[in-house]
Structure 1
Protein backbone atom coordinates (compact mmCIF):
# COMPACT_ATOMS: atom_id res chain seq x y z
CA UNK A 1 0.00 0.00 0.00
CA UNK A 2 1.26 3.48 -0.78
CA UNK A 3 0.38 4.94 2.63
CA UNK A 4 -2.48 6.98 1.19
CA UNK A 5 -5.89 6.50 2.74
CA UNK A 6 -8.86 6.03 0.45
CA UNK A 7 -11.84 8.37 0.69
CA UNK A 8 -13.83 5.69 2.50
CA UNK A 9 -11.05 5.21 5.06
CA UNK A 10 -10.73 8.97 5.58
CA UNK A 11 -14.51 9.25 5.99
CA UNK A 12 -14.69 6.54 8.62
CA UNK A 13 -11.62 7.84 10.41
CA UNK A 14 -13.26 11.28 10.65
CA UNK A 15 -16.55 9.68 11.72
CA UNK A 16 -14.88 7.66 14.48
CA UNK A 17 -12.96 10.73 15.67
CA UNK A 18 -16.27 12.62 15.89
CA UNK A 19 -17.91 9.78 17.82
CA UNK A 20 -14.97 9.50 20.22
CA UNK A 21 -14.94 13.25 20.85
CA UNK A 22 -18.69 13.25 21.51
CA UNK A 23 -18.36 10.34 23.94
CA UNK A 24 -15.53 12.07 25.79
CA UNK A 25 -17.62 15.24 26.22
CA UNK A 26 -20.66 13.22 27.32
CA UNK A 27 -18.62 11.16 29.82
CA UNK A 28 -16.95 14.27 31.25
CA UNK A 29 -20.27 16.03 31.79
CA UNK A 30 -22.16 12.96 33.04
CA UNK A 31 -19.53 11.32 35.19
CA UNK A 32 -17.04 14.10 35.74
CA UNK A 33 -19.29 17.04 36.55
CA UNK A 34 -22.18 15.00 37.95
CA UNK A 35 -20.22 12.56 40.14
CA UNK A 36 -16.45 13.09 40.40
CA UNK A 37 -16.35 16.89 40.54
CA UNK A 38 -19.66 17.30 42.36
CA UNK A 39 -18.01 18.35 45.66
CA UNK A 40 -16.07 21.07 43.83
CA UNK A 41 -19.23 22.33 42.11
CA UNK A 42 -21.37 22.19 45.28
CA UNK A 43 -20.71 25.82 46.19
CA UNK A 44 -21.98 27.25 42.90
CA UNK A 45 -25.74 27.91 43.10
CA UNK A 46 -27.95 27.47 40.03
CA UNK A 47 -31.75 27.34 39.97
CA UNK A 48 -32.15 26.79 43.73
CA UNK A 49 -29.61 23.97 43.94
CA UNK A 50 -25.89 23.53 43.44
CA UNK A 51 -24.19 23.13 40.07
CA UNK A 52 -23.01 19.56 40.74
CA UNK A 53 -26.57 18.37 41.42
CA UNK A 54 -27.80 20.26 38.34
CA UNK A 55 -25.23 18.48 36.13
CA UNK A 56 -26.20 15.12 37.61
CA UNK A 57 -29.93 15.69 37.07
CA UNK A 58 -30.29 18.04 34.10
CA UNK A 59 -26.92 18.97 32.64
CA UNK A 60 -26.03 15.52 31.37
CA UNK A 61 -29.40 15.23 29.59
CA UNK A 62 -29.13 18.70 28.04
CA UNK A 63 -25.54 17.98 26.97
CA UNK A 64 -26.57 14.64 25.45
CA UNK A 65 -29.32 16.30 23.40
CA UNK A 66 -26.92 19.05 22.29
CA UNK A 67 -24.40 16.38 21.26
CA UNK A 68 -27.05 14.64 19.14
CA UNK A 69 -27.69 17.85 17.20
CA UNK A 70 -23.96 18.61 16.97
CA UNK A 71 -23.25 15.09 15.66
CA UNK A 72 -26.00 15.34 13.02
CA UNK A 73 -24.76 18.78 11.89
CA UNK A 74 -21.13 17.63 11.75
CA UNK A 75 -22.01 14.40 9.91
CA UNK A 76 -23.89 16.41 7.29
CA UNK A 77 -20.71 18.43 6.78
CA UNK A 78 -18.63 15.25 6.47
CA UNK A 79 -21.14 13.74 4.04
CA UNK A 80 -20.92 16.84 1.83
CA UNK A 81 -17.13 16.85 2.03
CA UNK A 82 -16.93 13.25 0.82
CA UNK A 83 -19.81 13.54 -1.66
CA UNK A 84 -22.19 11.29 0.27
CA UNK A 85 -25.04 13.71 0.91
CA UNK A 86 -28.59 12.57 0.38
Structure 2
Protein backbone atom coordinates (compact mmCIF):
# COMPACT_ATOMS: atom_id res chain seq x y z
CA UNK A 1 0.00 0.00 0.00
CA UNK A 2 1.42 3.38 -1.01
CA UNK A 3 0.51 6.80 0.34
CA UNK A 4 -0.03 9.15 -2.59
CA UNK A 5 -0.23 12.94 -2.67
CA UNK A 6 -1.11 14.81 -5.84
CA UNK A 7 -0.59 18.58 -5.85
CA UNK A 8 -2.59 20.38 -8.57
CA UNK A 9 -2.09 24.05 -9.50
CA UNK A 10 -3.09 26.32 -12.33
CA UNK A 11 -0.33 26.70 -14.90
CA UNK A 12 1.62 29.97 -14.95
CA UNK A 13 -0.22 32.55 -17.02
CA UNK A 14 -3.67 31.16 -16.20
CA UNK A 15 -5.66 33.69 -14.19
CA UNK A 16 -6.14 32.44 -10.62
CA UNK A 17 -9.24 34.32 -9.44
CA UNK A 18 -9.29 32.53 -6.10
CA UNK A 19 -5.59 33.32 -5.56
CA UNK A 20 -6.21 37.01 -6.30
CA UNK A 21 -9.10 37.06 -3.79
CA UNK A 22 -6.91 35.48 -1.09
CA UNK A 23 -4.09 37.92 -1.89
CA UNK A 24 -6.46 40.88 -1.58
CA UNK A 25 -7.80 39.58 1.73
CA UNK A 26 -4.30 39.03 3.13
CA UNK A 27 -3.23 42.52 2.07
CA UNK A 28 -6.41 44.00 3.58
CA UNK A 29 -5.82 42.18 6.87
CA UNK A 30 -2.38 43.67 7.29
CA UNK A 31 -0.03 41.42 5.32
CA UNK A 32 0.95 43.69 2.42
CA UNK A 33 3.95 41.49 1.64
CA UNK A 34 1.72 38.67 0.32
CA UNK A 35 1.96 38.70 -3.48
CA UNK A 36 1.42 36.36 -6.43
CA UNK A 37 -0.85 34.07 -4.38
CA UNK A 38 -1.85 30.88 -6.19
CA UNK A 39 -4.46 28.49 -4.84
CA UNK A 40 -4.31 24.80 -5.66
CA UNK A 41 -5.58 21.52 -4.36
CA UNK A 42 -4.05 18.54 -2.62
CA UNK A 43 -5.46 15.07 -3.23
CA UNK A 44 -4.31 12.33 -0.84
CA UNK A 45 -5.12 8.65 -1.04
CA UNK A 46 -3.79 5.15 -0.45
CA UNK A 47 -3.12 3.04 -3.52
CA UNK A 48 -2.44 -0.68 -3.70
CA UNK A 49 -1.16 -1.70 -7.08
CA UNK A 50 1.85 -2.10 -9.28
CA UNK A 51 3.80 0.76 -10.88
CA UNK A 52 2.20 3.34 -8.59
CA UNK A 53 3.87 6.34 -10.23
CA UNK A 54 2.63 5.40 -13.71
CA UNK A 55 -0.87 4.58 -12.51
CA UNK A 56 -1.21 7.83 -10.57
CA UNK A 57 0.03 9.75 -13.62
CA UNK A 58 -2.76 8.09 -15.64
CA UNK A 59 -5.24 9.13 -12.92
CA UNK A 60 -4.03 12.72 -13.14
CA UNK A 61 -4.22 12.80 -16.93
CA UNK A 62 -7.70 11.24 -16.90
CA UNK A 63 -9.49 12.73 -13.89
CA UNK A 64 -7.52 14.51 -11.19
CA UNK A 65 -6.30 17.50 -13.23
CA UNK A 66 -7.28 19.47 -16.29
CA UNK A 67 -3.96 19.31 -18.10
CA UNK A 68 -4.91 22.15 -20.44
CA UNK A 69 -4.81 24.69 -17.59
CA UNK A 70 -3.37 22.78 -14.62
CA UNK A 71 -0.08 21.12 -13.75
CA UNK A 72 0.42 18.47 -11.12
CA UNK A 73 3.13 16.97 -8.97
CA UNK A 74 2.99 13.42 -7.58
CA UNK A 75 4.51 12.26 -4.28
CA UNK A 76 4.54 8.57 -3.41
CA UNK A 77 5.65 7.34 0.01
TM-score by length of 2: 0.26
Relative to total residues, which structure has the larger helix share, 1 or 2? 1
Q: Which has the larger radius of gyration?
A: 1
Relative to total residues, which structure has the larger strand share, 1 or 2? 2
TM-score by length of 1: 0.25
Q: Tell which has more relative contact order, 1 or 2 (C-alpha 8 A, sep 6+).
A: 2
